[in-house]
Chain A
Amino acid sequence: MLQSRRHVLRNGRRHAASGRPWRGAVGLGIVTAMATALAAGPAGAAEPPAPREAAAAVDAAIDASMEAAGGAPAPACDDAAFLRRAWLDLTGDIPTPEHVIAFALDRSAEKRGAVIRALLDDPHYGLNWARYWRDVILARRIEDRALAVADALEADLSAWLNADEPWDRIAARFITAEGDVREEGATALAFAQDGRTEEFAAETSRIFLGMQLQCAQCHDHPYDSWKRGQFHELAAFFPRVGVRPVQTTTRRSFEVFASDRPLGRRPNNENRPQAEHRMPDLNDPAAPGTTMAPRFFLTGSRLPLGSRDAERRATLADWLTESPWFSRAVVNRLWSELAGEGFYEPVDDLGPERPLQAEEALEILASGFAANGFSLKWLMETICLTTAYQRESRGRRLPDDPAFTANVAQPLRGDQLFNALLSTLDMPEPADNGQPRAARNATNFRRRFGETFFYDPSDPRETVAASIPQALLLMNSPSLQQRISGERPTWLASLLAETDDPEQIIAEIYLRALSRPPRDAELATAVAYLGESPRLAEGAEDLCWALINSAEFRSRR
Chain B
Amino acid sequence: MSPTLQHRVAVATQGGRVVSRRDFIGNAAAAASLAGSAPWWETLCASADELRTRRKACILLWMQGGPSQFETFSPKPQHPNGGGVKALSTNVPGIEVSANFPRCAEIANRLAIVRSLASKEGNHQRATYLLHHGHLPMASVQHPTLGANAARHLGDASRHLPNYVRIGGPLANAGAGGMLGVQYDPLVLGSARRPPENTRPPVEGERFERRLRLMADLQANAATGDEASAADHPRLVAKAAEMIFSPDMDAFDIGRETEAVREAYGESEFAAGCLMARRLIERGVTFVEVVHRGWDTHLDNFAKSSELAAEVDQPMAQLVVDLEARGLLDSTLVVWMGEFGRTPRINPRGGRDHYPRAFNGVLAGAGIRGGQVVGATDPSGSEVVERPVTVNDLFRSVYHALGVDADHENVSRIGRPIKLVDGGEVVRELFS
Contact = CB atoms under 8 A, between A and B. Distances in A.
A552 interface: yes
B413 A459 contact: yes
Interface string A184-212: 00000000110000010011001000001
A395 B414 contact: no
Nearest to B12: A463
A79 interface: no
A473 B200 CA distance: 10
B110 to A, nearest CB: 34
Nearest to B415: A223
A408 B226 contact: yes
B218 A462 contact: no
A551 B233 contact: yes
B230 A203 contact: no
B244 A472 contact: yes
Contact of A473 (B12, B18, B198): B198
Given A193-B139, A467-B183, A476-B244, A552 B18 contact: no
Given A462-B20, A465-B1, A395 B226 contact: yes
B183 A465 contact: yes
Given A465-B183, A468-B187, A478-B202, A542 B221 contact: no
Contact of B223 (A456, A473, A552): A552
A73 B218 CA distance: 28
Contacts of B187: 468-469
Contact of B221 (A143, A392, A525): A525
B181 A463 contact: yes
A293 to B, nearest CB: 23
B284 interface: no
Contacts of B228: 395
Contacts of B23: 460, 463
Interface string A358-400: 0000000000000000000000000000000000111110110
B362 interface: no
Contact of A395 (B139, B162, B229, B415): B229
B225 A481 contact: no
A188 to B, nearest CB: 13
Interface string B10-22: 0010100111111
Nearest to B171: A144
A81 B223 contact: yes
Nearest to A519: B221
A131 interface: no
Contacts of B217: 525, 529
A329 B199 CA distance: 42
Nearest to A459: B413
Given A144-B173, A199-B139, A525-B218, A549 B237 contact: yes
Interface residues of A, number: 74
Contacts of B239: 468, 471
B226 A142 contact: no
A516 interface: yes
Contacts of B219: 550-551
A476 B125 CA distance: 33
Nearest to B242: A468
Contacts of A555: 224-226, 229-230
Interface string B173-186: 10000000111010
Interface stretch (B53-61, B206-214, B348-356): B206-214
A150 to B, nearest CB: 14
A209 to B, nearest CB: 14
B197 interface: yes
Contacts of B207: 538, 542
A502 to B, nearest CB: 14
B126 interface: yes
Nearest to A458: B413
B233 A467 contact: no
A81 B224 CA distance: 10
B172 to A, nearest CB: 4
B424 interface: no
A83 B273 CA distance: 49
A466 interface: yes
Contacts of B337: none
A199 B139 CA distance: 6
A557 B125 contact: no
Interface in A453-490: 455-456, 458-460, 462-463, 465-473, 475-478, 481, 484
A281 interface: no
Contacts of A547: 218
B225 A476 contact: no
A550 B22 contact: no
A407 B225 contact: yes
Interface string A494-535: 000000000000000000001010010110011001000000
Given A143-B126, A215-B416, A399-B18, A409 B226 contact: yes
B45 to A, nearest CB: 19
A552 B23 CA distance: 27
A178 B1 CA distance: 41
Contacts of B211: 542, 545-546, 549
Residue among B219, B221, B222 with the highest chain A CB neighbour number at 10 A: B222
B236 interface: yes
A557 B218 contact: no
A275 interface: no
A487 B126 CA distance: 50
A405 B144 CA distance: 36
B199 A476 contact: yes
B215 A546 contact: yes
Contact of A145 (B125, B140, B200, B415): B125
Contacts of A183: none
B3 interface: yes
A399 B218 contact: no
A343 B200 CA distance: 45
Contacts of A18: none
A402 interface: no
Interface in B233-285: 233-234, 236-237, 239-241, 243-244
9 contacts: A143-B125, A212-B414, A346-B413, A462-B14, A465-B182, A465-B183, A469-B197, A472-B197, A526-B214
Given A468-B183, A546-B218, A549-B211, 9 more contacts: A199-B138, A202-B140, A465-B181, A468-B187, A472-B240, A516-B223, A522-B222, A546-B214, A551-B234
Interface of A: 81, 140-145, 192-193, 199, 202-203, 206, 212, 214-215, 222-223, 345-346, 349, 392-396, 398-399, 407-409, 455-456, 458-460, 462-463, 465-473, 475-478, 481, 484, 514, 516, 519, 521-522, 525-526, 529, 538, 542-543, 545-547, 549-552, 554-555, 557
